[in-house]
Amino acid sequence: MDFKEGEVLYVNKPFGWTSFKVVGRVRGKISKAFHIKKIKVGHAGTLDPLATGVMILCTGKATKRIESFQYQTKEYVATLKLGATTPSFDMEHEEDATYPTAHITRELIDEVIPRFTGEIWQVPPVYSAVKIDGIRAYDYARKGQEIALKPKLLVIDEIEVLDFSMPVLKIRVVCSKGTYIRALARDIGAALQSGAYLTALERTRVGDKRLEDCWQVDDLLEFLDKEAQENAVG
């Protein structure tokens, strides 16, 4: 493998890890194992710490391909809790409000979900990396400062209900770059005249690469060590 010339690595991001941590671990291992002082490693699409799934890493000259990977279609499996909200629209924060759910039926869900396919306008979460005047939105949010984020036009190709058992709704989402599944959960909750937030999120596909094509991080790090040893012997 030639990491300076450029390699593309597919990993399954672990729960609780930041995307930055995944990049750092892989960059550190390549640098140490192959004795490369400076090596570029970047990722093609952030996953929140509480999310798991397909993450594309590019090294060396392959980092020039990151933008093309970012524009590929992504697929997620999202688990929502209905009847409550959190400030971050996921489990990073405690519930801040609860709402009625007695009126929510499978028929209502089947009526509401299709409204979110096609071109839609979505307001990003306040706890996000969107920049306002050069400052990340989450920095304002953590200081308790109110901010107004502009809606973005994006495309959701498919939403499929995988399971529904109150208060849990599990959906599969195929969407474009820039889609916040946390914000989609918020909007579905509002459309149901209730509330909703993410309790789990897994990115199952980017382009034609699926979870089964991905390395577990520990396995990848072990593989890189073996590659380096074989190269040294050779």
Instruction: Please say if 208 is a catalytic residue.
Output: no
At residue 133, the pLDDT reads 67
At residue 72, the pLDDT reads 95
| Residue 85: how many other CB atoms lie within 10 Å | 21
Indicate which residue of 2, 48, 139, 219 is catalytic: 48
Splitting the chain (234 residues) into consecutive groups of 10 residues, what average pLDDT does each group show?
92 96 96 91 92 97 94 96 95 95 97 96 78 68 72 95 97 94 96 97 97 96 89 63
Residues 6+ apart with CB under 8 A from 6: 58, 59, 60, 61, 62, 63, 64, 65
At residue 67, the pLDDT reads 93
At residue 41, the pLDDT reads 96
Check: CB of residue 80 under 8 Å from CB of residue 197. yes
Q: Rounded to an integer, what distance in angstroms lies between the CA atom of residue 219 and that of residue 130?
A: 33
Tell me: cis bond preceding 167? Omega within 30 of 0 counts: yes
With CA atoms as reference, report the closest residue to 49 among 143, 127, 131: 127
At residue 127, the pLDDT reads 67
